[in-house]
Amino acid sequence: MKKFPTVLFLGDGMADEPLGELDGKTPIEYANTPNMDWIASHGRCGTMLTLPEGYPTSSDVANMSVLGGNLAKELCGRGPLEAASQGIAMGPDDVLFRVNLITIAPDGTLKDFSGGHVGEAEQKEAIALLNEHIAKDWKGNPGEYIRFYAGVSYRNLLLLHGPAFSGSAVAYDKPDDNSGNPVFDHMPRAKSPDGEYTAKVLCDVMKRGAEVLKGRGANGIWTWSGGKAGAIHSVSKLYGTKCAIIAAVDVINGLGCTMGLDVIKVPGATGYIDTNYEGKADAAIKAVKDGYGFVYVHVEATDEVSHLQDLKLKLKAIEDFDRRLVGRVISALGDKCAYAVLPDHPVPLHLGKHTRTPVPVAVYQPGVEPDGVMRYSETDAPSGSLGHLQGGGLMDALLKS
């Protein structure tokens, strides 16, 4: 089969479950999505398992799955991936943890895992305070130190430097799984004796963080998903084509650059519903015209509004994704380019958190016979000819000669 340039549209958390208020339809089924439906009706459909049992229900896991990563050998946690996106060099004694700026309710429960989608000014001020009052004064073993780094909005990093620190030996709970739960009942804990010291430090940092940020909108921190830098295979080398990634958030950009995809930054890409869809679309169009054989376009907005359990915003985000991104790219590149569309995982509105349910996939490739599925949805996709994909199945179907 002749190889065509491929654009993959990833709507983070877009998949859902049937809702009574939508007459038993899912948000994807209910929303107006003519462009995703075009990919489905002119191509082939199926499902993909992106969050297998035994791994966290996290977007770094899910997006690595979509890109064909070997989870057992290559998964390193969000911290190192976000560090790679920020250009933070990691040494062998460095462990990076993701740090959410959060809002803790007066009763000690988690009110908002995003700190109210904290703005840049408040975020940078909060990180400066944490460095001034925690990192600067922290006394550990000789040669050890800690440091906070600002990322995008509520998504930030904590570096622990020293040979006694571990990421893999520490268990953690995801903040977006624990809205309404007591924050300090869900702190990091050791999985083995090797993790006891690290877990103790992280718990101390979380407690002190709440003291430092008291009275602010984002008045606490949540540390999770830590690890050390590891070796991950290059998608570009594996498939022999120039690859790019377009995303707003560090974890996805970091995953892309560690897997051999060139990161294309788009002004106004925010990781929320006000993101620059048209800018992302135009960047993808330009990348294809510049000779990229594979372009991965990630949108975070659908995930964020799903965690908020806001049906109206989820429908809007899906329709914006379809019209302002998918439709704009297809209109510019036409039917001589290949397209794929899928979420990385579901976020059912009634739960507000990630689930392991396989996600719907649609793939259009010029010259490949359609399989008869006429609509892109969780209900229709499983009957398509792509079957039930996992591992490197999707990437092989898209890029393998």
> Residue 231: what pLDDT?
78
**CA 241, 246, 249 angle in degrees (round to 5)?**
135
Q: Which of 49-58, 151-160, 198-207, 222-231 has the lowest mean pLDDT?
A: 222-231
- Sign of CA pseudo-dihedral 8, 10, 11, 15: positive
Average pLDDT of the residues in 127-143: 94
Angle between helices 59-66 and 250-258 (to 10 degrees): 40
Average pLDDT of the residues in 248-265: 95
Instruction: Tell me: pLDDT of 1 over 60.
Output: no
What's the order of all strands across the beta sheet hosting 243-246?
Answer: 262-263, 243-246, 294-299, 6-11, 338-342, 359-364, 44-48, 387-389
Q: Where does 6-73+231-399 sit in CATH, by number?
A: 3.40.720.10
Among residues 165, 168, 224, 169, which one has the least CA distance to residue 191? 169
> Residue 2: what pLDDT?
65
Give tens-digit pLDDT for 82-122: 999 999 989 899 999 999 999 999 999 999 999 999 999 99
> Mean of the per-residue pLDDT values for the chain?
96
Give tens-digit pLDDT for 366-389: 999 999 999 999 999 999 999 999
The two structure tokens encoding residue 137: 């004064």
> Residue 182: what pLDDT?
97
Q: Which of 36-50, 81-95, 358-372 has the lowest mean pLDDT?
A: 81-95
> Residue 68: what pLDDT?
97
Q: Which of 165-169, 228-232, 265-269 has the lowest mean pLDDT?
A: 228-232
- Distance of alpha carbon 167 from alpha carbon 54, whole angstroms: 17
pLDDT confidence band for 401 (50 / 70 / 90): confident
**pTM for this entry:** 0.86
Average pLDDT of the residues in 183-208: 97
pLDDT confidence band for 229 (50 / 70 / 90): confident
- Distance of alpha carbon 246 from alpha carbon 282, whole angstroms: 11
| All structural domains of the chain with their residue ranges | 6-73+231-399, 80-227
- Is residue 257 exposed (0-12), middle (13-18) or buried (19+ Cβ within 10 Å)? middle
